[in-house]
Each structure stands twice: as C-alpha cells, then as structure tokens.
Amino acid sequence: MTDRKDDLVNYVIALGDDSLILGQRLSEWCYHAPFLEEDLALANVALDFIGRAQMFYDYASQLEKGVRSADEIAFLRDTRDYRNLLIMELPIGDFAFTMARQFMVDAYNYLYLQQLLRSTDKTLAAIAAKATKETDYHLRRSQEWVLRLGDGTDESHQRIDKAFGELWGYSAELFGMSDCETALLSKAVSVDRTALSADWTKLVSETLEQATLKIPSDDWQISGGREGLHTEHHGHILTEMQYLQRTYPGLEW
Amino acid sequence: MMSEQLADRIARRRDSACAAVWDLLDQVKDPEIPVLSLWDLGVLQDIVVQGQSVRVMIIPTYSGCPALREMKQDIRAVLASAGYVEVEVVTQLAPAWSTDMITSEGRQQLQKYGIAPPVSHRDSPVICPLCASPKTHLISQFGSTACKALYRCESCDEPFDYFKCL
C-alpha cells in the first residue's frame, strides 16, 4: 500500500496550505494597518505563518523525493489542489474582522500544535515545537485585541460582533477530519481535531464573554477546504500570490 | 543559571576538532543585530569538517526569520575567503531555538547595543538598556523584527527594543 506515504504528503501539504494562505492574507495589511506598531505586528505574524508553510512544504518535497520543490508546491497548484481550511482564505475585511479571525485561528493553533508536538512523526513534532512558542505570542495579542475591540467603543463593539457572526459558521470545519488525517491517526502521526472542539469553544467563549460579546449562533456551517472545495475568494488570492512564479517560471529570490 | 542547551552547545564547541572554523565563524553576525554573532545568538549549532569540506548546522530563530538566507550567504562567504570551497549550510528544525541559547556575552552585547536582553523569569521587569530603570512598559508585542517587542522607559522616556523570551 503506497497510501500511507501519500496520506502523509497530503496531510503535510494541507498544514502548509493553512499557514501559507493565512500568511498571505495577513501580509495584505502591510502599509495598511491602523498604526505603525500594528503594521509591524501583522507583518511579523504573517512571516511566522509563511515560514511555517515553508517548513511543511520542504518536508512534503522531501517525502516526495524532490518530485516537486517547496516553491512548486506553493506556487504552481490551482485552487482545487489546495487543502487549507476555508477560514484562512476569507478576505481580510476590516481590522475587527482580521483580529476576530486571527483569534479563532490562534486559539485553534494553540490547541492543535500542543497535540502535534506529540506526533510520532519527528519532523512534524519538531515543526510544532517551533511553531507553538510563536503561537503563544500570536494568541496573546489577538485575544487582547478581541477584548479591546469588544469592550471598547460602540463602533468597535459593533464591528467585531458582526465579524464573529460572519466567521462563526467556519469554525465547525476546524474540528472535522479529512480522510488522510483519519488514516494517519492510527499511527499517532496526525492530530484528532474532533477532540479539540470542547477546549476551543471554552477558550473562545470565555474571551468573548469577557469582551462583552455574545456567542454567535450555530445556525449555519460551511466546510470543504480539506477536500479542495473553496470559496470564490481562493482563486483571487492565488492570482496575486502566484503571479510572479507564473509569469517568470522558476524565478528564484 | 545556564540552560542545558547552551551548556551542550558550549561543550560541543570546546570539544570540537575544528576550533579554528568556529573562531572564523565568530565573524558572522546577525544581519539585523550586527553586534551579535550567530554563535552568541544561539543560531550556530554545530560544525563538521572533513578535509576541505565544511558542514555547518544552524537553526532559525523564528519560523519566518527573513535573515536566515543572509546568514547562510555570510557563512559561505567567510568560509570561502578562508579557502573552504565545499560548504554546506544545513537548517535544522530541532532543537527549537530559544532565547536561553543566547550566551552571556551575547546578552551583554545586546544591552550595549540598546536592546534589552530577554528576562530570565517571565515576571521579572524589563530593564531599560539606556538608563537601567526597571520602570518600563510594553508598547507593542512585535517590534522592528519578530524577535523583538517595543517598550518605553518611564524614567528616561525613551522607546527601546526588547529581545523577547521565546
């Protein structure tokens, strides 16, 4: 059965896709953040995610014995080949939307990486060991912003409340399992995402409550990212992100 | 107290058969903090020399550290000028870099350069590198680079970079 190896490659690429797409989204704030310190912070967080993507893609390339390089995996696939969770690809919206999404994702990464640390796959465990420390900082910051905006002015409260309402239906997908993740679970390579849901809900609800925000209702859910079924926004982000590599194939820094 | 990882690294250098190459690479500085060598920063992990070929093991500070590429180029350039033609610079994922890997000389150099070194305990105050006051406050979790946060001193009013704990 060659499946195990393929499962691992698919899994690693999906983790890379989550990081790359969110990193690309965050970098769209460069020069546009509300003030200088925040501009630097967003760009630095974006770099952490792009660096993480590079580590995952390098590993995938190594598993494939160099059939594709990390750059080829990142820049020469089309939308349907991407496996990122949908929440990562949503447009940045206003600052409240960006921080609400970031908080939801940071809380998820915080729990996810603690489990990935225990992966029997040494490379994945090493990437998690590195990423988990950075995520502590990411979460601390996005959580602060949720409190500040939620418990801030009427305007900031209303904006972040609306953002959570628009994002909430994407949270269910964080805790579903794709085929390759399920297959890798028996060897304790992947993370059981279904088991993270309760802790995530607790962490996020407590912060929302403290920020005087209501927990949005669960009346709609959308998923499909891990199967390559994306929102209309995904193609647009790729046209921008892949422009250089498509126009000048093989170009290197 | 010295961290285990730093002690290991110091032992590795002390017991190495290629002391001259370690000394040579002391010339390579962090491109963003030009007073700090890769050795003092904790990025330089190991060196293996076989004949004329050198293998240098480094670890990135942050996942997305954009200086990594430049560090590799600088390592190659310094070794090339010393006559080592076959140079391989390997980025390792483990151990995960930590501020505990910074040497005590490195901490002093940071301070002299105007960057507050990482505190040894999470609750200790960040000391102003300019006037040594412990009365400082955080302005932004992220400073000019991912590894630094921006602080302001309440005594001398100056803003300064703090090399945050990781």
Position with higher pLDDT, B62 vs B23: B23
Partner-chain contact A40 B144, CB within 8 Å: yes
Task: Give pLDDT, residue A250.
Answer: 86
Residue A4 has pLDDT above 60, yes or no: no
pLDDT band at B142 (very low <50, low <70, confident <90, very high): confident
Q: Mean pLDDT lowest for which of A215-224, B2-11, B124-133?
A: B2-11
Contacts with B164 from chain A: Cβ below 8 Å: 137
Q: What token pair was written down for B148?
A: 């630094």
Q: Which residues 87-116 of chain B have a CB within 8 Å of chain A?
A: 93-98
List of chain A residues whose C-beta atoms are within 8 Å of the C-beta of residue B64: 23, 44, 46-52, 54
The pLDDT of A153-173, averaged and rounded, is 98
pLDDT of residue B87: 95
Query: Whole-angstrom Cα distance, residue A165 to residue A159?
Result: 10
Q: Does B143 touch chain A (CB under 8 A)?
A: yes
What percentage of chain A carries pLDDT values higher than 70?
98
CB B22 within 8 A of CB B39: yes
Q: Which residues of B touch A123 (CB under 8 A)?
A: 93
For residue A46, list chain B residues with Cβ-Cβ distance below 8 A: 64
CA separation for the pair B163, B147 (Å, rounded):
6
Chain A interface disruption, residue of B141, B145, B161, most A CBs within 10 A: B141
Residue of B nearest to A51 (CA): B64
Pairing outcome for strands B148-153 and B136-140: antiparallel
Q: How far apart are CA B8 and CA B46, in angstroms?
A: 11
A59-62 contacts at long range (C-beta below 8 A, 24 or more positions apart): A59/A12, A59/A123, A59/A124, A59/A127, A60/A9, A60/A12, A60/A13, A60/A16
Amino acid A253: pLDDT: 73
Distance in angstroms between the alpha carbons of the first and the last residue of chain A:
39
Instruction: Say if CB B46 and CB B57 are below 8 A apart.
Output: yes
A2 secondary structure, DSSP code: -
B145 near B139, Cβ under 8 Å? no
Highest mean pLDDT among A96-110, B71-85, B125-139, B146-160: A96-110
Contacts of B63 in chain A (CB under 8 A): 47-49, 51-52, 54-55, 130-131, 134
Mean pLDDT value of segment B130-158: 90
- What average pLDDT score do residues B32-54 get? 93
* Topology classification of domain A3-247: Ferritin (1.20.1260)
B63 reaches A (C-beta below 8 A): yes
Nearest of A145, A170, A150, A158 to residue A220 by alpha carbon: A170
Q: Flag if B93 and A47 touch (Cβ within 8 Å).
A: no
Which residues of B are less than 8 Å from A41 in CB distance?
A: 140-142
Cα–Cα distance between A104 and A38 in angstroms, integer? 19
CB of B5 less than 8 A from some CB of A: no
Strands B86-91 and B115-116: unpaired
Nearest residue on chain B to A49, judged by CA atoms? B64
pLDDT, average across residues B84-94: 92
Smallest Cα distance from B146 to chain A, Å:
5
The full set of domain ranges for chain A reads 3-247
A 10 A CB-CB count for A180 gives: 23
Which of 3.40.50.300, 3.30.300.130, 3.40.47.10, 3.30.110.60 is the CATH number of B4-100?
3.30.300.130
**Is residue A55 very low, low, confident or very high in pLDDT (cuts 50, 70, 90)?**
very high
Smallest CA–CA distance, residue A44 to chain B, in Å, is 5
Looking at this protein, which amino acid is placed at residue B77?
A
Q: What is the mean pLDDT of residues B56-76?
A: 91
- Pick the residue from chain B with its C-alpha nearest to A253: B69
How many CB contacts within 8 angstroms connect chain A with chain B? 72
Contact yes or no for B140 and A40 at CB 8 A: yes
3-class DSSP assignment, residue A157: helix
Tokens, residue B15: 């017991």
Q: What is the mean pLDDT of residues A215-221?
A: 94
Query: CA A4, CA A175: separation in Å to the nearest integer?
Result: 22
3-state secondary structure of A65: coil
pTM: 0.91
For chain A, the average pLDDT equals 95
| CB-CB neighbors (< 8 A) of A47 in chain B | 62-66, 146
C-beta of residue B52 within 8 angstroms of C-beta of residue B84: yes
Contacting residues of A for B166, CB less than 8 Å apart:
133-134
pLDDT of residue B56 exceeding 50:
yes
Q: Which two tokens stand for residue B3?
A: 């961290």
Task: Please judge whether B63 and A133 are an interchain contact, meaning their C-beta atoms are less than 8 angstroms apart.
Answer: no
Domain boundaries, chain B: 4-100, 114-163
Determine contact: B69 vs chain A, CB below 8 A: yes
- Phi first, then psi: give them for residue A89, nearest 5 degrees: -95, -10
Task: Please state, in angstroms and as integers, the Cα–Cα distance from residue B88 to each residue in B28, B30, B56, B73, B110, following that order.
Answer: 15, 19, 6, 11, 29
Nearest CA in chain A to B144: A40
- Interchain CB distance below 8 Å, B65 and A51: yes
**pLDDT reported for residue B1:** 65
Is A134 in Cβ contact with B142 (below 8 Å)? no
Burial (0-12, 13-18, 19+ Cβ within 10 Å), A65:
exposed
